[in-house]
A and B are shown apart, each in its own frame.
Chain A
Amino acid sequence: GNSVTQMEGPVTLSEEAFLTINCTYTATGYPSLFWYVQYPGEGLQLLLKATKADDKGSNKGFEATYRKETTSFHLEKGSVQVSDSAVYFCALSDGVTGGGNKLTFGTGTQLKVEL
């Protein structure tokens, strides 16, 4: 079955540091890949997505590239801010299969950014 593995947290960084959160996946076919973010006390919000190999998703300074050869979708940001403190979830969808288009999530990585 499908699965997503992401690095365990918490990850603690100083403001303006470089961020990488690793994500690898196992899936049949050609999945779409997503990063979701959850700020304290809130639901999940879509951060970025990529639907085919070599696509780069980007939003709010975050980037991730769909690497089929390494089955990875690592999240990066060049300079983090305190406001980026949140839990980040990597997820995949293997496409429409009888309806539903379900997402499989990783366990989440908590990011703490300090001044």
Chain B
Amino acid sequence: DVKVTQSSRYLVKRTGEKVFLECVQDMDHENMFWYRQDPGLGLRLIYFSYDVKMKEKGDIPEGYSVSREKKERFSLILESASTNQTSMYLCASSFWVSAEAFFGQGTRLTVV
């Protein structure tokens, strides 16, 4: 079975902190994605990566950055956390030519 693992289920951080959310997949997928999920808004794409060291902005990249140094790992970075970044964050991965994405269990981040 494909496994996408996010490092934390729940996180509480203070405003202004630098926050790292980690995601690892074990299926040698080329594509990796970070979404945030908010009630009434569905899933919105923050960043995605289709190869090591490659990244592209999604629909809502402001306030976020990403890092992909190894194929299996994709990190989301909140440079200076703010309360409006309180949300559920979902990582996903897929093969290059397939749109079928496999999701992690999510990280619920609260910024206080």
Contacts and interface: CB of A to CB of B under 8 A. Distances in A.
Contact of B99 (A32, A41, A42, A106): A32
Given A44-B90, A96-B96, A108-B42, A103 B31 contact: no
B79 interface: no
B105 interface: yes
Interface residues on A, range: 20 to 34
A46 interface: yes
The 8 closest A-B pairs by CB, nearest first: A93-B99, A99-B50, A43-B103, A107-B42, A105-B43, A44-B103, A105-B42, A101-B99
Interface of B: 4, 30-31, 33, 35, 40-45, 48, 50-51, 54, 56, 58, 90, 92, 94, 96-106
Interface of A: 32, 34, 36, 41-46, 49, 89, 93, 95-96, 98-103, 105-108
